[in-house]
Amino acid sequence: MGTPELISPRSPRVTAAKRLAKRSFRGKERRFIAEGPQAVREAVGHRGPDGTPTLIELFATVETAERYADIVDAAHAAGARVHLAGDDVLAEISQTITPQGIVGVCHFLDSPFEDILAAKPKLVAVLAHVRDPGNAGTVLRCADAAGADAVVLTDASVDLYNPKSVRASVGSHFHLPVAVGVPVEQAVAQLQAAGVRILAADGAGDNDLDDELDAGTMGVPTAWVFGNEAWGLPEETRALADAVVRVPIHGKAESLNLATAAAVCLYASARAQRVRTTA
């Protein structure tokens, strides 16, 4: 596909993309990095509520651009600036030890919490006090896979656009509405006012997930609240919920990690809601 257009890693375009590794610059520019062919492919096809393409720029090595010519062509068609670059340029922009050879610069895509409420969601994941970006991205991916309507990251949780979070979601950032910076008390109160049942996921919960399923209580609109990876949910957050639910441990494992527990809970609700709809 020709000689790389960006010869030096010190190019102003590269510098501008590289600094998006820092949260302060991401917030100021309202832009973030999507890395890897899957994430960039999803970015190319995504548009904001006003129809504006989400992808602003694409950087790719010559070899990667040839391998994923469909992504490059789609980026051109969407009006993104496409730069062919050397490996040294991708190494400057990439946040991984082994760059995948393709990186996109994207507009922020979070949704106002009010818009999520107005859409009358049936299944929501609320991340309260989740600090690990990899876990946040993985829970977002689980919510997407389970067919959730939205994800909410509270003001005490990690940045949605942290590069590790974006990589862990493997493109799910572009699939469902995500609200950020919402105080957990506000999120719970407004979801309850919208007729959504609040379930706090906690290993010490009084309610067993199996019992909830057997009782037929899981088919209603539900928001699951997931807590910190190390210390779970604080008492004041658990007190906000309609029920505190534990995932039963039938074997000898001490516990489940956050993402695994979230997947179990979200899929349980999704299944119960489908059964209720078809009954």
Percentage of residues of the chain with pLDDT beyond 70: 96
Q: Which of 27-36, 141-150, 208-217, 270-279 shows the lowest mean pLDDT across its residues?
A: 270-279
Write the CATH number for 154.
3.40.1280.10
Please state, in angstroms and rounded to a whole number, the distance separating the CA atoms of residues 205 and 229.
16
- What pLDDT sits at residue 48? 86
pLDDT in tens, 67-91: 999 999 999 999 999 999 888 888 8
217 domain residue, yes or no: yes
- What pLDDT sits at residue 219? 93
Percentage of residues of the chain with pLDDT beyond 90: 77
Q: Once rounded to an integer, what is the mean pLDDT over residues 23-33? A: 96
Checking if the pLDDT of 275 tops 50, the result is: yes
Checking if the pLDDT of 3 tops 60, the result is: no
pLDDT in tens, 38-51: 999 999 999 988 88
Answer left, alpha or beta for residue 209, where phi above 0 means left and psi between -120 and 50 means alpha: alpha
| 197: CB partners within 8 A, 6+ apart | 220, 221, 222, 223, 242, 243
Please state, in angstroms and rounded to a whole number, the distance separating the CA atoms of residues 206 and 41.
43
Please state, in angstroms and rounded to a whole number, the distance separating the CA atoms of residues 220 and 235.
25
Please state, in angstroms and rounded to a whole number, the distance separating the CA atoms of residues 76 and 171.
20
Q: Once rounded to an integer, what is the mean pLDDT over residues 201-212? A: 91
Q: Once rounded to an integer, what is the mean pLDDT over residues 159-179? A: 94
* Domain span including residue 208: 113-278
Domain match, 99 and 220 both:
no
Nearest CA to 168 out of 257, 68, 39 is that of 39
Q: What is the CA radius of gyration of the chain?
A: 20
Domain match, 86 and 192 both:
no
Write the CATH number for 47.
3.30.1330.30
Whether residue 40 contacts residue 58, with contact meaning beta carbons closer than 8 Å, is answered with: yes
- What pLDDT sits at residue 136? 95
Eight-state DSSP code of residue 93: H
Eight-state DSSP code of residue 196: P
Average pLDDT, the chain: 91
pTM: 0.91
209 domain residue, yes or no: yes
Domain match, 139 and 75 both:
no
Checking if the pLDDT of 185 tops 60, the result is: yes
The pLDDT-based confidence of 4 (bands split at 50, 70, 90) is very low
Total domains, the chain: 2
- What pLDDT sits at residue 86? 87
